[in-house]
Structure 1
Amino acid sequence: MLGLPKGEVLLVPWTEQWGEEFLLEKRRIESGNGAYPLVIHHIGSTAVQSLSAKPIIDIAIEIMRFEDGVQCVPHLEQIGYSYKGTNILPERHYFSKGEPRTHQIHMFQTGSEHLIRQVAFRDHLNQNESDRRSYQELKENLAKTYTTDKWAYADAKTDFVHSIMRKLGFEN
């Protein structure tokens, strides 16, 4: 049910198991990170009920100070994550787990605009069936077009995401 081979874009239907898997992983993360994670969020499409997604659990971790992210590396490596650094995606420490990849962690400083947007987008799709259906259709079409190009797939979703963020009062 989980795992996306490198270089593939594959959507699978939403399942309650994604929420259960997030909770299991959250407990693993909390078990050895002491006071560093303030809040652990389930983000991305696997956190949106009834939305098909790439079978990877996206996790956002809030930390008080961005520099504290390095203190979390040993524990996260111990539970199977690979630390990719801070230059993969903007303003975050990034970790991935598994090959094929099953989980990824985006670690943000509390108050990060990127985190606030991720959570707002997730919450909006969970509460707005019409936008969720539109996003579902878009993702299905793009997954057929970009079966082996995850960057093009992600880029092609940008206009839709920006339109939702404008609805929510965010500037692009």
Structure 2
Amino acid sequence: MTFEIDHIGSTAVSEIQAKPVLDIALRSTEDAQIAAALVKLGYVDRGIRSGRLFIRSRDDDVRTHNLHLNHPDDLNCIDQITFRNALRSEPKLRTQFAALKQSLVRSLGDRGRGQYGDGETDFVKSVLQKHS
């Protein structure tokens, strides 16, 4: 079984505030075998969204990490890695994104989880246009 693993999301970039939940991208052509193995390890299969999402929680139901199972050429996964790499390599970009995230948290609070992601979309798209 061959696969690639990448730490993605805000916790993968220093100086970015994030929820204490790791996002992990696992890329493989052997999706079915890996999915079955993850379920045996206690992961919960949340189905296909952008790739196939598995979550893992502590005994008290606090989510600890999300594992995104994707095919190696999945464009969304490639975009997530490209965005992470851009933030890691460009301090100014990292500062801008951190400020945006803080602004969204202040303005939306706990009520706007879906809106939070929407608020990041234009920034992410602009970074991907420059770095793809």
Alignment TM-score, normalising by the size of structure 1: 0.70
Residue 80 of structure 2 aligns with which residue? 118
Residue 137 of structure 1: SS of its match in structure 2?
helix
**Cα RMSD after superposing both structures:** 1.4
1:158 pairs with one of 109, 121, 124 = 121
Query: Matches of 2:106 and 2:63 in 1, distance apart?
Result: 20
Q: How many residues align?
A: 128
**Structure with higher strand content:** 2
**Structure with higher helix content:** 2
* 1:85-124 matches, cutoff 5 A: 85-86=47-48, 89-90=49-50, 92-98=51-57, 99-124=61-86
Does residue 1:82 correspond to 2:44, yes or no? yes
The alpha-carbon deviation at position 70 of structure 1 amounts to: 2.8
Deviations 1:29-76 (A, max 9, x none): xxxxxx1x5101111111112211121100000111xxx323223322
Alignment TM-score, normalising by the size of structure 2: 0.89
Query: Matches of 2:66 and 2:105 in 1, distance apart?
Result: 20
Query: Matches of 1:146 and 1:96 in 2, distance apart?
Result: 25
* 1:38-53 matches, cutoff 5 A: 38-53=3-18
Letter in 2 for 1:95: F
Task: Give 5+ residue unaligned stretches, structure 2.
Answer: none
The alpha-carbon deviation at position 166 of structure 1 amounts to: 1.2
Identity of aligned residues (%): 32
Residue 99 of structure 2 aligns with which residue? 137
The alpha-carbon deviation at position 101 of structure 1 amounts to: 1.2
Query: Matches of 1:79 and 1:150 in 2, distance apart?
Result: 29
Query: Matches of 1:144 and 1:81 in 2, distance apart?
Result: 32
State the 4+ residue runs in structure 1 displaced beyond 3 angstroms. Answer: none
The alpha-carbon deviation at position 78 of structure 1 amounts to: 3.2
The alpha-carbon deviation at position 128 of structure 1 amounts to: 0.3
